[in-house]
Amino acid sequence: MSLDQPQLDTSPKVSDEVRKTTCYMCACRCGINVHMKGGKVAYIEGNKDHPVNRGVLCAKGSAGIMQHNAPSRLRAPLKRVGPRGSGEFEKISWEEALTIATDWLVPIRAEAPEKLAFFTGRDQSQSFTSFWAQGFGTPNYAAHGGFCSVNMAAAGIYTMGGAFWEFGQPDWDHTKLFMLFGVAEDHDSNPIKMGIGKIKARGARMIGVNPIRTGYNAVADDWVGITPGTDGQFILALIHCLMKAGKVDLDYLARFTNASVLVNEDPKSDQFGLFLRDADGQPQVIDRRTGALAPWNGKGVEPDLAATHRAKGVTHRPVFHLMADRYLSDDYAPEAVAESCGISAKRIRAIAADLARVAFDEAIELDRQWTDFRGKKHEKMVGRPVSFHAMRGISAHSNGFQTCRALHVLQIILGSVEVPGGMRFKPPYPKPATAHPKPHGKVTPGAALDGPHLGYTHGPEDLLIDADGKPTRIDKAYSWENPMSAHGLMHMVISNAHAGDPYKIDTLFMYMANMSWNSSMNVGGVMKMLTDKGEDGEYVIPHIIYSDAYSSEMVAYADLILPDTTYLERHDCISLLDRPICEADGVADAIRWPVVEPDRDVRGFQSVLCDLGGRLGLPGFVNDDGSQKYADYADYITNHIRRPGIGPLAGFRNADGSGKGRGDVNPDQLQAYIDNGGFWIEHVPENATYYKPFSKDYQNWAVKMGFYDVEQPYIFQLYVEPLRKFQAAAEGIGTRQPPEHLRGRIKVTMDPLPIWYPPFEDGHVDPVEYPIHALTQRPMAMYHSWGTQNAWLRQIHGHNPLYVPTKVWEANGFADGDWAKVTSAHGSIVVPVAHQASLNENTVWTWNAIGKRKGAWALGEDASEATKGFLLNHLIHELLPPKGDGLRWANSDPITGQAAWFDLRVKIEKSAVPNEAQPALPPIKSPVGKGPDELDWKVGE
C-alpha cells in the first residue's frame, strides 16, 4: 500500500457558540463551557477562568450532555391516578397542578402551618426555599444535611467557625503534609483532585485514613486502614502524643483559641464548667503583662495558658489545663487504642512524629504584615504546613460530631488553621456559631414563622420544644434528642410523620430527595409508610408533592409531580447567602442560566415556588396589592433584597454594575454574570489572606463586602461552652431539664472537650454475632441518584459488588462470581461479592446508590443496576432496635441528629446464586417509558 496519507482537516469548526454556566452534575459547582451547534448542546468542558475548577472537569461534568438529554426527564406535571407506589399518573396542565397544590396548602397555612413538612433534599437554593418556608409559617423545613455531613459542618462551626468544603480547604500551594480522613471523593471533588496533583508535583506527602484503599487513598503515600468508627480514638491518641511531647503551638493557642479562657472548677457552683465572664459577658483570661484578669479580646492583652485564678472560693483554670488533665492520661495513649483502631501503637506514634516534624521543623513564613484584633502588629505570617480534610467518612457515625471536633482540635493545637500551609477558610467563612442565627419554630396560623428555621443553639433555652418538652419540629430537630441539629433530620421526617410522633402532618412537600430509595434508611419500611392507610382508608400521610427533573424512585410515591428542568435549562444562583463557591483567596458566586430552553412542559422548581408563593400570599412573595412579586426565579435573583444592599448575588450590583458585595439592585445583573463567564470573584487583600478570624485587615474587608455588618473577630473554641450547658442541664442545673431517659446520654456525649465513645450500634448489636463493618464509598464518576441512569457513566459504574477483605473472603471460601447473604440486626440482602486485599480486615463495602429499582430512571427492567446492583440501605434502620421502653431511638448522632449510616454491623455467609440481587422489589410503572437501545449522539454535521 502507498504511504499517501488522507487529507485531514485539523482545524474543524468546534462550535457555533460557547455558553458559560455552572455544572450541576454534583454539588461541586464547577464552571463549564457549553459548546452549542445549531442550538443544541454539542460538548461540555471546564471553564479555565473559573475559580473552582480552573478548566478541568470530572467524568460527571463531561457526561452532562447525557444527563441533559436523558430519557428519564419528566415531561409534564403529573397527577397520581393509581395507588401510591404504582407509578400510574396522568399528565395535567401547570394550572391544574398549581391549583391542586394551592387547594391543599391554603387551609394548612390558615389553620396549622406545621402540617406542611417542606424538605428540599439536595437543594442548592436553600436561602430561597427556606425564605419561602418561613413565609409559609411552617417550622418544618430543612434540606438534606441531616443525612449527609452535618456533624462535620456543625463541629466545624462550633469549634472554629467553619469546616471543610464550602467552608475551607487545605492551603494547596504551601502545605507539605496532607492528611485525609474517610471518603471524600464526592464533595469539593475537582478542587481536591487538583490539590492532590499540586502537592504531588511538589513532592509533598499525603496520608490517607480510610478502612478502604480506593480513590484518593490509592494515591496516598501512606494508607491507614482504620476500623470504622474509631477515628476519634486515633485522633485523640495523636493529640495525646503531641501534647505529651510539647509539640503544640503555644503562642497560637494562647492568642487565637480559648485554651487561655478561664473555666469555673467548682462542682458545687451553678457555673461549674462555664467560662468566667466580666460584667459585659466577655470570657476572661489572665493577661501575662499584668497577671490580672482581662477580657479575651482586650487591647494588647497577652493571654496566659498557665495561670489560674481564684476568687470567692472558686478556682478557675484555663481550658489548656483541662485539656492537659484529660489528654495526657494514658487512657489516650496509642497503646490503649491500637487494638480498637486496628493501627499499631508504633504507627500512631510515627504519624504523630511526622505531624510534629512538618508543623514545627518545616514551618514556613510569608513576608506579609497583618494586625490582629487586639491591635498587635505581626511582621510575618507564620505557617504550620500540615493540612487536613474530612467529610462523611468520619461524620456519618453516632460519635461523628465528637470525632469531627477532635480533628479540629488536632488541627488547632498544631497551629495549622488559617495559617500558610494549613487549612484556610473560604469567605464568607470564617463565621463563628455566635454569628449565625438561632433556630426558630414559633408558629402563627396565617403568618410567617418568627425567624429562620435553622441555626445554632447555645444552650437549653434555644431548643425548639414546648412547655412539656415536646419537639416543635416534625423531625425533632433542636429537641433534647439532638440539641445541636443544625441541618435538621430529613431522614426522620417520613418515619415521624407516619408514627404521628410528635404529631401528624397533612402535606409532605419534597424536592430532589430520593426518599423511597437511596436517600432513606430502611427503604422497604419507608415505602410502606408512604403507602400506608389509616382506618379511614386514607393515606396516613395524606398528601405528597414532589419535584424532580427525572423519573426517580420517589416519583411513584407522590400524588402530585412538579417537573423540574435540567441544569442547562434553568436559572440558579450559587449565593453567598447559601453555599457559595468561594476560594480561600477570593469571594465568589455564580449563576446558572438557560443555555437551552426546555423542550418539555417543565418549569424550574424555584420559579414554581415564586408562583405558589404568590397564590398563597406569602410574605416576601407578594406585592402590597397582593399580586405575585417575582415573575420567576431570575426575577427573584435580580430583585430580592435580604438586608439593605445585600441580595442573592454579590457581584455587579448597582445599576452600573460597580457594586461588589453591597449595592443596589442591578436590573442587568444576570447579563453581567453571563458576560463574565457565569461567575463573579473578588480577591481577598494580601494582608488579609490568612488569620482571617483574628485579622483586623480581614474583618474590615468582610464588613465592606457585606458578609456581616460589624467586625466580629473571635477565637477558636477548643472548649465548646454550649455543649457544657446542655451537659449541665443533664446534671440537674437550670430550669429547662431533659427528659429522664436522655439524661445519662447527654451527660456522656455532650462533653465540652472532644471525647470518643463507641458507635451506638456496637451497644445494640452483638459484635460477636455481627463482626463485620459495612460501608459505602462515593464513586468519583457517579453522584448519588443524580447521575446513575446516565448512559455514559453507567458503563463505568453499572453495578456494584460487595468488596470483601482477604480474611473474610478466605474464611467463607468465596470465589469469583459468588454471591453472599449479608445480614444486619435489621434485615438481609443477597448480593454479588468481589475480593479486595487493600481493605481493613473486618470491613466490607460497596459503591453508594448504584442499585436502582426496576421501572425507575427510564431503564429497562433487565438493567444491571436493578438485577445486580443493590443498596446497603435495606440493612440500616432509621431507629435503633427497641429497648423495651416504648420509645423510638433514632439511629443518629445524639448531638446533631446526623444519620449514622456508617455504624452498620453485619454478618456474611455464602449464598446460592439467585436470579438477581435480593430484595428484588416489583417494578414500578415508568411515567416516561424506557430509553432507546442504541445511542450515537452527534448533533453536528
Partner 1 sequence: MTQLPPSSAKKLGLVIDLDTCVGCHACVVSCKGWNTENYGAPLSDQNAYSGAASGTFLNRVHSYEVQPEQGTAQLIHFPKSCLHCEDAPCVTVCPTGASYKRVEDGIVLVNESDCIGCGLCAWACPYGARELDAKEGVMKKCTLCVDRIYNENLPEEDRQPACVRTCPAGARHFGDLGDPDSDVSQLVAERGGFDLMPEQGTKPVNKYLPPRPKDVEPQIDILAPYLEPVAQDGAGFAHWLDKALSALPGGAK
Name residues contacting partner 1, limited to 274-303 (CB under 8 A): 288, 291, 302
Q: Closest CB to partner 1 among 183 and 463? A: 183
Cα separation values, 161 from 154, 715, 718, Å = 9, 9, 12
Q: Closest CB to partner 1 among 93 and 290? A: 290
* Residues forming beta bridges with residue 510, ordered by sequence position: 119, 546
In the window 569-608, what residues touch partner 1 (CB under 8 A)?
none
In the window 392-411, what residues touch partner 1 (CB under 8 A)?
none
Q: Closest CB to partner 1 among 487 and 868? A: 868
User: Candidates 213-221, 429-437, 463-471, 525-533 — which segment interacts with partner 1 by CB under 8 A?
Assistant: 213-221
Residue 808 CB contacts under 8 Å (≥ 6 apart), including other chains: 772, 841, 842, 844, 908
CA–CA separation, 325 and 728 (whole Å): 20
Smallest separation, CB 277 to partner 1 (Å) = 24
Cis peptide before 722 (omega within 30 of 0): no
Q: Closest CB to partner 1 among 215 and 420? A: 215
Smallest separation, CB 236 to partner 1 (Å) = 15
User: Candidates 215-223, 559-567, 588-596, 667-675 — which segment interacts with partner 1 by CB under 8 A?
Assistant: 215-223
Q: At which residue does the C-alpha cell 418561613 appear?
A: 134
- What per-residue string of b and e applies to 243-275 under the rule 16 or more CB within 10 Å gives b? bbeebbbeebbbbbbbbbbbbbbeeeeebbbbb
CA–CA separation, 321 and 263 (whole Å): 10
Smallest separation, CB 557 to partner 1 (Å) = 22
Opening angle at CA 571, ends 137 and 702, nearest 5: 75
Smallest separation, CB 638 to partner 1 (Å) = 31
Give SS3 for 937: coil
Q: Closest CB to partner 1 among 649 and 831? A: 831
Q: Closest CB to partner 1 among 15 and 297? A: 15
Q: Closest CB to partner 1 among 13 and 268? A: 13
Q: Closest CB to partner 1 among 102 and 676? A: 676
Give SS3 for 295: strand
Smallest separation, CB 184 to partner 1 (Å) = 11
Written as nine digits, the cell of 738 is: 431533659
- What per-residue string of b and e applies to 128-157 under the rule 16 or more CB within 10 Å gives b? bbbbbbbbbbbbbbbbbbbbbbbbbbbbbb
Q: Closest CB to partner 1 among 740 and 941? A: 941
Smallest separation, CB 228 to partner 1 (Å) = 17
In the window 135-164, what residues touch partner 1 (CB under 8 A)?
none
Applying CB under 8 A, which of residues 100, 219, 366, 596 lies at the interface with partner 1?
219
Smallest separation, CB 571 to partner 1 (Å) = 25
Give SS3 for 613: helix
In the window 442-471, what residues touch partner 1 (CB under 8 A)?
none
What DSSP string runs through 502-544? Answer: S---SEEEEES--TTTTTSSSHHHHHHHHH-B-TTSSBSS-EE
Smallest separation, CB 258 to partner 1 (Å) = 16
Q: Check binding of 336 to partner 1 (CB under 8 A).
A: no
Q: Check binding of 645 to partner 1 (CB under 8 A).
A: no
Residue 795 burial by CB count (10 A; 0-12/13-18/19+): exposed, middle or buried? exposed
Q: Check binding of 674 to partner 1 (CB under 8 A).
A: no
Q: Are the beta carbons of 657 and 666 closer than 8 angstroms?
A: yes
Q: Closest CB to partner 1 among 199 and 454? A: 199
In the window 785-844, what residues touch partner 1 (CB under 8 A)?
789, 791-796, 798-799, 836-839
Applying CB under 8 A, which of residues 215, 483, 525, 580 lies at the interface with partner 1?
215
Written as nine digits, the cell of 666 is: 442591578
CA–CA separation, 312 and 392 (whole Å): 46
Smallest separation, CB 196 to partner 1 (Å) = 6
In the window 28-87, what residues touch partner 1 (CB under 8 A)?
37, 42-46, 48, 53, 55-63, 65, 71
Smallest separation, CB 166 to partner 1 (Å) = 18
169 to 198: interface string for partner 1, x by CB under 8 A:
----------------x---xx--xx-xxx
CA–CA separation, 696 and 372 (whole Å): 5
Cα separation values, 387 from 176, 196, 424, 695, Å = 8, 12, 9, 20
Residue 360 burial by CB count (10 A; 0-12/13-18/19+): exposed, middle or buried? middle
Residue 196 burial by CB count (10 A; 0-12/13-18/19+): exposed, middle or buried? buried
Q: Closest CB to partner 1 among 220 and 236? A: 220
Cα 80 versus chain centre, distance: 32
In the window 91-120, what residues touch partner 1 (CB under 8 A)?
none
233 to 262: interface string for partner 1, x by CB under 8 A:
--------xx-xxxx--xx--x--------
CA–CA separation, 798 and 13 (whole Å): 34
User: Candidates 12-20, 365-373, 531-539, 899-907 — which segment interacts with partner 1 by CB under 8 A?
Assistant: 12-20
Q: Check binding of 860 to partner 1 (CB under 8 A).
A: yes
Smallest separation, CB 457 to partner 1 (Å) = 33
CA–CA separation, 819 and 520 (whole Å): 25
Q: Are the beta carbons of 563 and 76 closer than 8 angstroms?
A: yes
Smallest separation, CB 560 to partner 1 (Å) = 26
User: Candidates 211-219, 486-494, 664-672, 763-771 — which segment interacts with partner 1 by CB under 8 A?
Assistant: 211-219
Give SS3 for 193: helix
Q: Closest CB to partner 1 among 258 and 749? A: 258
In the window 342-381, what residues touch partner 1 (CB under 8 A)?
346, 349-350, 352-354, 356-357
Q: Looking at this protein, which amino acid is placed at residue 692?
A: K
Applying CB under 8 A, which of residues 88, 222, 501, 668 lies at the interface with partner 1?
222
917 to 936: interface string for partner 1, x by CB under 8 A:
-------------xxxxxxx
Smallest separation, CB 844 to partner 1 (Å) = 15
Applying CB under 8 A, which of residues 147, 164, 216, 760 lies at the interface with partner 1?
216
Q: Where are the alpha helices (DSSP H) in 534-632?
A: 605-616
* Total of chain residues touching partner 1, rule CB under 8 A: 113
Nearest to 917 by CA among 857, 860, 852: 852
